[in-house]
């Protein structure tokens, strides 16, 4: 099994995003465009980045009624977009509508579900009225997203094994919350190193600031890519 690197280019400065993308384009398999960059620069930024080589993960985390999400999914796919996502908490009907809409486009793009946001701890879940331990929620929502025809999930590195057990080997596991031993944790809490997450069985590691905010981003990306291959 190979584990791939996805660099999250979170920022609101187009030149900075494009500069960083150029610096790491030969090292990373994926670039992630999230809400911050997309709400500022939209499809035009996607077009600019798609010319650089790495596949694109359009991380817009759709969560709405099934009809609206289906339309958004149809509008998101394209030859340059390898991955898109929805929130599993949008429910089975929404996930099925998203999967059906994707199928209809005939695109190769993979659709994954965000399980439990890594920023929600048990206290926060409880305030939302959810009393299950997060690992159980992740297991159940990952299973549901598989039943609904999705290709994988976004989950914390701590839940990689739980998802693998519930959903099998061919289910895509994409994980943020990755920090090399030499990088600051920032606001990520339940972190693992790239090598640990690879050993747990992640398919794609999403890493942002340890690379993009490093003094030497290219070197940081190389160091992480070596650790993942190691
Ligand atoms: O800079 P850092 O490595 O923390 O970036 C992680 C990326 O993964 C960010 O783009 C963030 O939006 C995303 N993400 C996350 N936790 C989730 C889902 C996505 O950190 N549960």
Q: What is the pLDDT of residues 162-197, one digit of tens each?
A: 999 999 999 999 999 999 999 887 777 778 999 999
Give me the domain span that covers residue 19: 4-229
Q: Do 138 and 110 meet the contact criterion of CB atoms below 8 Å apart?
A: no
**Could you list the pLDDT tens digit for every one of the 230 residues in the chain?**
799 999 999 999 999 999 999 999 999 999 999 999 999 999 999 999 999 999 999 999 999 999 999 999 999 998 899 999 999 999 999 999 999 999 999 999 999 999 988 778 888 889 999 998 889 999 999 999 999 999 999 999 999 999 999 999 999 999 999 999 998 877 777 789 999 999 999 999 999 999 999 999 999 999 999 999 87
Pairing of strands 30-33, 204-207: unpaired
Q: What is the CATH number of the domain that holds 37?
A: 3.20.20.70
Instruction: Give CA–CA dist 84/164, Å, rounded.
Output: 20
Q: Do 200 and 181 meet the contact criterion of CB atoms below 8 Å apart?
A: no
Check pocket membership of 117 for ligand 1, CB cut-off 6 A.
yes
Q: Name 102's Cβ contacts closer than 8 Å, sequence gap at least 6.
A: 73, 74, 77, 84, 109, 111
CA-nearest residue, atom 5 of ligand 1:
208
Check pocket membership of 154 for ligand 1, CB cut-off 6 A.
yes
Ligand 1 centre distance from Cα of residue 177 (Å):
7
Check pocket membership of 206 for ligand 1, CB cut-off 6 A.
yes
Domain count, the chain: 1
Q: Among 11, 18, 5, which Cα is nearest to 51's?
A: 18
For the chain, counts of helices (H) and of strands (E):
10, 8
Instruction: Give CA–CA dist 124/2, Å, rounded.
Output: 34
């Amino acid at each position: 099994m190979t584990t791939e690197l996805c660099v999250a280019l979170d920022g609101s400065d187009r030149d900075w995003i494009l500069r960083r993308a150029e610096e790491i384009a030969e090292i990373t398999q994926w670039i992630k465009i999230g809400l911050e960059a997309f709400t500022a620069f939209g499809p035009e930024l996607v077009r600019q980045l798609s010319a650089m080589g790495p596949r694109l993960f359009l991380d817009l985390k759709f969560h709405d009624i099934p009809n609206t999400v289906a339309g958004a999914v149809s509008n998101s796919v394209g030859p340059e977009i390898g991955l898109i996502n929805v929130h599993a908490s949008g429910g089975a009907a929404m996930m099925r509508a998203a999967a059906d809409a994707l199928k209809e486009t005939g695109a190769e793009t993979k659709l994954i579900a965000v399980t439990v946001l890594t920023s929600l701890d048990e206290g926060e879940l409880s305030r939302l009225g959810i009393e299950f331990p997060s690992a159980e929620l992740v297991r159940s929502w990952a299973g549901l997203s598989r039943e609904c025809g999705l290709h994988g999930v976004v989950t914390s590195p701590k839940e990689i094994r739980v998802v693998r057990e519930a959903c099998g080997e061919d289910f895509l596991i994409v994980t943020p919350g990755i920090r090399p031993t030499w990088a600051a944790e920032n606001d990520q809490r339940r972190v693992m190193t790239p090598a640990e997450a690879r050993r747990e069985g992640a398919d794609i590691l999403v890493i942002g600031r340890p690379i993009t905010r490093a003094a030497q981003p290219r070197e940081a990306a190389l160091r992480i890519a070596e650790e993942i291959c190691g």
